[in-house]
Amino acid sequence: MPLTVGELASASGLTVRTLHHWDEIGLLRPAERSGAGHRRYSGEDVERLYRIVALRRLGLSLDQVDAALDAEGPDLRAAVAAHLGRVRAELTRLRRLEGILEALIEPSTELMIEAIEVMTMSEQYYTPEQLEQLEARRTQLGEDGMAKAQRDWADLIAEMDAERAAGTDVGDAKVQALADRWQDLINQFTGGDPGITASLKRMYEQEGAPKASRGAMSPELSEYVQRVMAARAGR
């Protein structure tokens, strides 16, 4: 049964004013009008409305949405595929957050911080595809593997800080051996993917040390590690 503009607005969460505007610009015109001129929306209109909303969520302007809907099938499928990628990434993030929140029944400061990070940081630095890869990597390592990685980070940071305190040159063979271990641990997290590595580096530069090392790395050590890794890159 056709829907009135008020019924469609109520069911979709949009405003009547929005639906009127989209009708006026030709983006979503109702299939028919009553004798009194009232809009009547069909099932096909509702399908088009879904596509409009989905494309808008991808960040497209109204003009771009209109062009995508009028384009050939592959263009629309590409937009929907991108939307699907975002949905999957969000589900991955929520599954991880679910596990953290379950643990927060008996909360600790560390878990609370991790929950905040998951909720606020992931999407700023990683693409949906990268988030899927990271979640797969976390699953592959398992809880024991993740715990071992955290212990390895703590040990490595302590060794690196000892060399910094001793004034060891960043190009020294001992320090460069630590740099190799540092890179190996990063590769465990990123799977060696250069795109994820670049995103991790950007997050590191803007947000500070990774969670595993936060609280253990002083600004002096962070600066020392940057020089060590720069020397490693120049080897």
Residue ranges of domains in the chain: 3-70, 142-233
Percentage of residues in the chain with pLDDT exceeding 70? Answer: 66
Q: Angle, nearest 10°, between helix axes 128-165 and 73-103?
A: 50
Q: Are 108 and 115 in contact (CB under 8 A)?
A: no
**CB-based burial, 197-217: b 16+ in 10 Å, e otherwise:** bebbeebbeeeebbebbeeeb
Which pLDDT value is given to residue 213?
Answer: 43
Whole-angstrom distance, CA of residue 99 vs CA of residue 146: 15
> Two tokens at 79?
């937009």
Q: What is the pLDDT of residues 203-212, one digit of tens each?
A: 555 554 444 4
pLDDT in the model for residue 96? 76
pLDDT in tens, 178-205: 999 988 887 776 666 666 666 656 655 5
CATH tag, 3-70: 1.10.1660.10
With cut-offs at 50, 70 and 90, classify the pLDDT of residue 218: confident
In this prediction, residues 11-15 reach a mean pLDDT of 89
Cβ neighbours around 63 below 10 Å, total: 10
Output 100 or 28, whichever has higher pLDDT.
Answer: 28
- The pLDDT of residue 171 is 92
Determine the Cα–Cα distance for residues 153 and 233; give it in Å rounded to an integer.
20
pLDDT above 50: residue 13: yes
Does the pLDDT of residue 58 top 90, yes or no? Answer: no
Q: Tell me the pLDDT of the chain averaged across its residues.
A: 76
Q: Looking at per-residue confidence, does 76 or 59 come out higher?
A: 59
pLDDT tops 90 at residue 167:
yes
What is the rounded CA–CA span in Å between residue 222 and residue 19? 54
Please write the tens of the pLDDT for every residue from 16-53.
999 999 999 999 999 888 888 889 999 889 988 988 88
- Section 101-117 average pLDDT: 57
User: Mapping DSSP to helix (H, G, I), strand (E, B) and coil, where does residue 117 land?
Assistant: helix
- Count, residues in the chain: 235
Q: What is the pLDDT of residue 25?
A: 93
Using CA atoms, how far residue 41 sits from 12, 26, 32, 165, 206, in Å, is: 12, 14, 7, 73, 49
Q: Which residue has the higher pLDDT, 150 or 160?
A: 160
Give tens-digit pLDDT for 111-153: 555 555 554 545 555 666 666 666 666 677 677 776 787 788 8
Q: For residues 104 and 125, give the distance between their C-alpha atoms in angstroms, rounded to a whole number.
A: 25
